Amino acid sequence: MKIVICSSEVVPFAKTGGLADVSGALPLALENLKQEVIVVMPGYSCVKNAGIKINPLKPGFSYATIGKNVKVYFIENEEYYNRAGLYGEKTGDYPDNLLRFSFYSKKTLELLKMINFCPDVIHCNDWQSALIPVYLKTNLKNDNFYKKTKTILTIHNLAYQGLFAAEQFSSLGLDGALFNIDGFEFYGKINFLKAGIIFSDFITTVSKGYANEILTKDFGCSLEGVLNTRKKNLSGIINGLDYSLWDPKTDKQIFANYDASDLSGKKKNKKELQKLCGLLIKEDIPLLGFVGRLAEQKGIDLLSDIIKDMSKLNIQIVILGTGDLKYHILLEEVAKKIPHLFSLNLKFDDALARRIYAGCDMFMMPSRYEPCGLGQMISFKYGTIPVVYKTGGLSDTVSNFDPKTKKGDGFIFTDYNKDAFLSSINNGLAVYAKKDIWQSFVKKVMSYNFSWEESARKYVELYKK
Ligand code: ADP
């Protein structure tokens, strides 16, 4: 089958979060399943830094090759994409995102014709590519080239919807009548994701748990009504992890390679991470990590409450993240009080992220909601035990460890408050204190397989359907 993956970020070319990991790995897994797949993304200036040759195609378009022979096409536009960020900078989103991503969507459909790649399925991801199904079903509905093309929209995070002022609607080049309650209109604004949900042939999200949650008021981000109308065409497929990129045995960025047969390399990683972060170098003190976007979703407030209490717990914490200014300020405030125990790194840094996964004993994910979450899967592979809130993809992939039966894979809290989070950390610390149990626990989670194979197969089944 001919598949086009459309995504606004793709590893190794551009990344702010898990969407890029997925969009880089899924095409390669589909290629292994003998599908004919290409990827289309915006040609941001950072794509040049991936270390992969970019080939010119026609003015405004270029491409590179990943995997055995998967072409990644770039939609170029100096004015729109030659910027420091993908969607915005510290001060907020770029004000012309409507233009930047509607341009990307229109040009993608032009490109496919130009290269004569007539797709069976266009697989869109999140609001940035959600207009593609809309253009196909409206402006291009009589276009023979796309007669047989079906669309899938995967929602990686329902909270990001692409909202814009109503006055901008005319810039989309669509019939003005589409700005109504059954189309783009959402509390007086333009909503790209809502339109994508309505116009795509099928909708998926990145775990079964989240697929159920988004139909409810608590998790539906005010789109639960629209999603319920599409319930028959909505399912959840869990993300995988690309073990060719995430494996402590081969990871070039960490301090020492290791696998479950010999954990001495993991000890070395802990020591070097403590050194790098200016923490006391002590093998026995539990080291807890966090890597993620500093957004409300990720539970940074809960995390900062724990940090305030951490000297009583006798633990060290290392945090790597970037995002909302208010969380930068909050974490900087608490950091001042506890040097040598707490390391705060407010940046995006792939190498440091890997060193944290490798060097820590536990990995904290107190996310309020989590569509899938890759951090817990990466942690398993690096022998770092996750402490998570029971939600979405986290509850689909982590179960609570019982020291008596030795069943379970992490420490889970089910009430969303500081005390519950603290008590799950304490449960972890109690097991950590029993060295032999901890060692076999670590080895067990390292053997888990969350590879893409199974999930890619499920996508192929869906494409065929
Ligand atoms: P989300 O997609 O909501 O951001 P996920 O857990 O699905 O969360 O994926 C996050 C991905 O982004 C992981 O690969 C994680 O290691 C990476 N990541 C997040 N923040 C940073 C950062 N500041 N530096 C390096 N990598 C990061």
Q: How confident is the model over 382-394, as pLDDT tens digits?
A: 999 999 999 999 9
User: CB of 373 closer than 6 A to ligand 1?
Assistant: yes
Distance from Cα 322 to the centre of ligand 1, integer Å: 10
Per-residue pLDDT of 308-358, as tens digits, reads: 888 788 899 999 999 999 999 999 998 887 878 899 999 999 999 999 999
Q: How far is Cα 255 from Cα 369, in angstroms, rounded to an integer?
A: 32
For each successive 10 residues of the chain (465 residues), what is the average pLDDT?
98 96 97 98 97 98 98 98 93 94 98 98 98 98 98 98 98 98 98 98 97 97 98 97 96 98 97 96 96 96 91 92 94 86 95 98 97 97 98 96 95 97 97 96 97 96 97
Taking the model in full, what pTM does it have? 0.94
Residues 6+ apart with CB under 8 A from 341: 279, 280, 310, 311, 315, 316, 317
Query: Chain-centre distance of CA 464, in angstroms?
Result: 25
Atom of ligand 1 nearest to the CA of 297: 3
- Note the pLDDT of residue 329: 94
User: CB of 349 closer than 6 A to ligand 1?
Assistant: yes
Domain ranges (residues) in the chain: 2-240+453-464, 264-446
User: CB of 348 closer than 6 A to ligand 1?
Assistant: yes
Give the residue, out of 21, 90, 210, 246, with the most ligand 1 atoms within 8 A of its beta carbon, to mutate for a pocket test: 21
> Do 2-240+453-464 and 264-446 fold alike per CATH?
yes
Homologous superfamily of 2-240+453-464 in CATH? Glycogen Phosphorylase B; (3.40.50.2000)
User: CB of 183 closer than 6 A to ligand 1?
Assistant: no
Atom of ligand 1 nearest to the CA of 21: 14
Q: How far is Cα 28 from Cα 46, in angstroms, rounded to an integer?
A: 21
Per-residue pLDDT of 118-169, as tens digits, reads: 999 999 999 999 999 999 999 999 999 999 999 999 999 999 999 999 999 9
Burial 66-100, CB ≥16 within 10 A → b, else e = bbeebbbbbbbbeebbeeeebbeeeeeebeebbbb
User: CB of 353 closer than 6 A to ligand 1?
Assistant: yes
Q: How far is Cα 212 from Cα 215, in angstroms, rounded to an integer?
A: 6
Residue of the nearest CA to atom 2 in ligand 1?
18
Give the residue, out of 8, 242, 298, 348, with the most ligand 1 atoms within 8 A of its beta carbon, to mutate for a pocket test: 348
Torsions phi, psi for 456 (to 5 deg): -65, -35
How many Cα atoms within 13 Å fall on the side-chain side of residue 55?
A: 8
Atom of ligand 1 nearest to the CA of 321: 23
Region 264-446: CATH code? 3.40.50.2000
- Note the pLDDT of residue 92: 87
Distance from Cα 253 to the centre of ligand 1, integer Å: 16
- Note the pLDDT of residue 396: 94
